[in-house]
């Protein structure tokens, strides 16, 4: 159990921790999150006395940490940083063994710890122990960084944005591993992040900080349901929004706005040329005032079209259409039923607004579920 | 006076060898003293950056005093022989090693220091397990520079009776005898090249293995 009692810290005039009082239960995965400068990293670093508060007390299991020698204190608390900080002059094995060595563990005991820990993250001893950090990928390096922190079985592990510099795939798998390890070994983990996804995924308890104070301390579920402050709400952003917004989605949210339309006066060969250049198999045909007429497919032009003739005579009207403001679910059902595999979205004045395809639908649903997609 | 070069070198081989060994002795002792002063001082300075500015400035000024002047001053203070020469050469040896030790330690990435502190290393453990190993390539680089300088400057020491290859050169200069000059100059040039290569080799060997691989 880690207790903060009225902890204050400022640099010059800037207040970093403002009378912070906080209890962290033993065995919990606790996330410190908040906007930059909110004091989350400072809070973390006061626990192992890398930063000394100006006033207030911090207790670990009832003991005032200022009464413990900082070097000894730190050997009983694991520490993982974003930049990993594996010592490049030491092998994987030597890096993991540092703290046990500082604590004068026996050699056989250290060997066993190293083997056991490497097994824990599926990095076989034989393949990895003698490697240098520079020979490992970023994800593997941070796995070793975590193992180094765990080596002397500290009951508490502090992690300062440990996965912030990793690619999303690696980050995902490390998050999963650390959560497993935490459960298995029953550690108290204090974890700083600015990523709400990560917080919700990992945390038993999320501590939301702002301006050196705790704004809300709650389980992820509770924080999602009752965010205590507008700032928290905006941090939760997409996680909250999607619940209300599903109902409001309309057809135009699902469509691709950039579509190819041709006037009905275009000639057959021009159209074939256009389709092959854009790599599509049909075109949307519009009147001269841009209102929707129908579609024309490459097969139909090839089968019935004559060179030099206008495409107006080849138009079919089998494609489904939907008004841009109609309900998204209706558009979805039309798309599933559509023989052409797409639904044409029309504006109120019957001009073409866009096209719903299976791809655009999947993308829009993905965004509604998981937030803005980057690609 | 009509001796060929080979006759000259055969006749004076003992003399040349003796001068050569004395030269090496002067260099080893001076650079050794330089290391003993510069490395600990560099470590101390890396902990006191304000003082470092002034100390490095003073060391820089000493470096700019012409070799002859410094040797002259030592001659006045300590008389003739090896001790004044070694004193002057040691002073010259200090700066490159000092500067490289100081910057080498300062250039160790902050996150290694934070990790070392965070996992519970004491100041001493941090120095010997992290800072010194990581700055070793830089320190050895300073040693290399000092050694090559001192090999060439040690030829001046012959002027104040310290012996070494400089003796041959000064004899040659004062008697217009090219052979003597070459007998001093060639071995000292070879010595400088060999020392440079040798320390370069040691530098690669001593660089922590993990640092040698492309990062």
Task: Mark whether A83 and A98 lie in a shared domain.
Answer: yes
Task: Mark whether A236 and A362 lie in a shared domain.
Answer: no
| Chain A neighbors of B104, CB-CB under 8 A | none
Task: Mark whether A216 and A269 lie in a shared domain.
Answer: no
| Chain A neighbors of B130, CB-CB under 8 A | 87, 89
Task: Mark whether A232 and A179 lie in a shared domain.
Answer: yes
Per DSSP, B2 falls in state -
Task: Mark whether A163 and A263 lie in a shared domain.
Answer: no
- Rounded Cα distance, A71 and A76, in Å: 9
How many domains does one find in chain A? Answer: 2
Task: Mark whether A262 and A335 lie in a shared domain.
Answer: yes
What pLDDT score was predicted for residue A373? 57
Strands, E assignment, chain A: 2-11, 14-24, 29-33, 55-60, 63-64, 77-81, 156-160, 188-192, 205-210, 213-218, 261-263, 282-286, 292-297, 320-323, 342-346, 352-357
Task: Mark whether A70 and A172 lie in a shared domain.
Answer: yes
Among residues 23-82 of chain A, which lie with CB inside 8 Å of chain B?
Answer: 48, 50, 71-76, 78-79, 81
Within a domain: A375: no
Task: Mark whether A50 and A85 lie in a shared domain.
Answer: yes
Q: Given an 8 Å threshold on Cβ–Cβ distance, is B120 in contact with A135?
A: no
Within a domain: A320: yes
Question: How confident is the model over B18-40, as a mean pLDDT?
Answer: 93
Q: Given an 8 Å threshold on Cβ–Cβ distance, is A87 in contact with B130?
A: yes
| Chain A neighbors of B129, CB-CB under 8 A | 87, 98
Task: Mark whether A171 and A59 lie in a shared domain.
Answer: yes
| Chain A neighbors of B117, CB-CB under 8 A | 50, 74
Structural domains of chain B, ranges and CATH numbers in brackets = 11-208 (1.10.3720.10)
Task: Mark whether A97 and A228 lie in a shared domain.
Answer: yes
What pLDDT score was predicted for residue B27? 93
Sign of CA dihedral B136, B137, B138, B141: positive
Segment A94-137, tens digit of pLDDT: 999 999 999 999 999 999 999 999 998 889 999 999 999 999 99
- Name which of A78, A88, A158 is nearest B208 (Cβ-Cβ): A88
**CB burial class (10 A; 0-12, 13-18, 19+) of residue B81?**
middle
pLDDT at A244 over 70: no
The chain A residue lying nearest B209, using CA atoms, is A89
Phi and psi at residue A19, to the nearest 5°: 55, 50
pLDDT at A248 over 80: no
Q: What angle do CA B195, B157, B66 make, to 5 degrees?
A: 95
Asked which of A230, A245, A260 is the last residue of a domain, the reply is A245
What pLDDT score was predicted for residue B215? 40
Residue A20 C-alpha, separation from nearest chain B C-alpha, in angstroms: 22
ipTM score for this prediction: 0.78
Within a domain: A129: yes
pLDDT tier at A364, thresholds 50, 70, 90? confident
Task: Mark whether A217 and A294 lie in a shared domain.
Answer: no
Q: Residue B83: which of B71, B101, B92, B93 has the closest Cα?
A: B71
Token pair 């004062």 is found at B174
- Name which of A74, A102, A135 is nearest B213 (Cβ-Cβ): A135
pLDDT tier at B2, thresholds 50, 70, 90? low
pLDDT at A338 over 90: no
Asked which of A228, A245, A262 is the last residue of a domain, the reply is A245
For residue A263, the domain's CATH number is 3.10.580.10
Q: Domain range for residue A332?
A: 251-370
Task: Mark whether A218 and A74 lie in a shared domain.
Answer: yes
């Amino acid at each position: 159990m880690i207790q903060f009692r009225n902890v204050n810290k400022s640099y010059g005039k800037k207040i970093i921790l403002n009378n912070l009082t906080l209890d962290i239960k033993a065995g919990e995965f606790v996330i410190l999150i908040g906007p930059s400068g909110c004091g989350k990293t400072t809070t973390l670093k006061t626990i192992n006395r890398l930063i000394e508060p100006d006033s207030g007390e911090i207790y670990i299991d009832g003991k005032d940490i200022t009464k413990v020698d900082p070097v000894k204190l730190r050997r009983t608390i694991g520490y993982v940083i974003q930049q990993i900080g594996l010592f490049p002059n030491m092998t994987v094995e030597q890096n993991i063994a540092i703290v046990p060595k500082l604590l004068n563990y026996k050699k056989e005991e250290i060997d066993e710890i190293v083997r056991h820990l490497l097994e824990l993250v599926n990095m076989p001893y034989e393949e990895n122990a003698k490697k240098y950090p520079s020979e490992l990928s970023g994800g593997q390096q941070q796995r070793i960084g975590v193992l180094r922190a765990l080596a002397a079985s500290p009951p508490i592990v502090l992690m300062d944005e440990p996965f912030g510099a990793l690619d999303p795939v690696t980050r995902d798998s490390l998050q999963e591993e650390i959560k497993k390890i935490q459960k298995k070994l029953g550690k108290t983990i204090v974890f700083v992040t600015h990523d709400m996804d990560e917080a919700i995924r990992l945390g038993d308890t999320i501590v939301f900080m702002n301006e050196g104070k705790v704004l809300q301390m709650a389980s992820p579920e509770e924080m999602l349901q009752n965010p205590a402050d507008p700032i928290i709400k905006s941090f939760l952003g997409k996680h909250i929004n999607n619940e209300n917004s599903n109902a409001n989605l309309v057809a135009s949210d699902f469509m691709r706005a950039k579509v190819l339309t041709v006037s009905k006066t275009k000639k057959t060969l021009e159209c074939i040329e256009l389709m092959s250049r854009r790599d599509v198999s049909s075109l949307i045909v519009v009147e001269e005032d841009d209102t929707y007429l129908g579609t024309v497919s490459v097969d139909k032009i090839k089968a019935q079209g004559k060179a030099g003739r206008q495409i107006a005579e080849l138009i079919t009207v089998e494609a489904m259409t939907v008004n841009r403001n109609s309900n998204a679910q209706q558009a979805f059902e039309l798309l599933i039923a559509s023989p052409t595999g797409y639904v044409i979205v029309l504006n109120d004045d019957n001009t073409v607004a866009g096209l719903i395809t299976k791809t655009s639908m999947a993308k829009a649903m993905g965004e509604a579920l998981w937030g803005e997609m980057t690609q | 006076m009509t001796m060929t070069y080979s006759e000259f070198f055969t006749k004076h081989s003992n003399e040349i060898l003796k001068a050569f060994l004395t030269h090496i002795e002067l260099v080893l002792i001076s650079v050794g003293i330089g290391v003993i002063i510069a490395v600990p001082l560099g470590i101390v300075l890396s902990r006191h950056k304000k003082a470092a500015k002034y100390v490095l400035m003073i060391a820089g000024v000493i470096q700019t005093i012409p070799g002859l002047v410094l040797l002259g001053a030592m001659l006045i203070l300590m008389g003739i022989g090896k001790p004044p020469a070694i004193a002057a050469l040691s002073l010259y040896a200090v700066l490159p090693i000092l500067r490289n030790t100081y910057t080498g330690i300062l250039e160790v990435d902050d996150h290694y220091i934070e990790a070392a502190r965070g996992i519970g290393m004491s100041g001493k453990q941090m120095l010997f397990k992290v800072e010194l190993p990581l700055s070793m390539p830089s320190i050895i680089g300073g040693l290399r520079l000092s050694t090559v300088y001192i090999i060439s400057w040690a030829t001046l020491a012959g002027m104040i009776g310290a012996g070494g290859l400089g003796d041959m050169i000064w004899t040659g200069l004062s008697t217009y005898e090219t052979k003597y000059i070459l007998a001093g100059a060639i071995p000292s040039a070879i010595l400088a090249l060999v020392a440079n290569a040798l320390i370069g080799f040691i530098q690669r060997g001593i660089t922590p293995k993990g640092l040698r691989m492309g990062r």
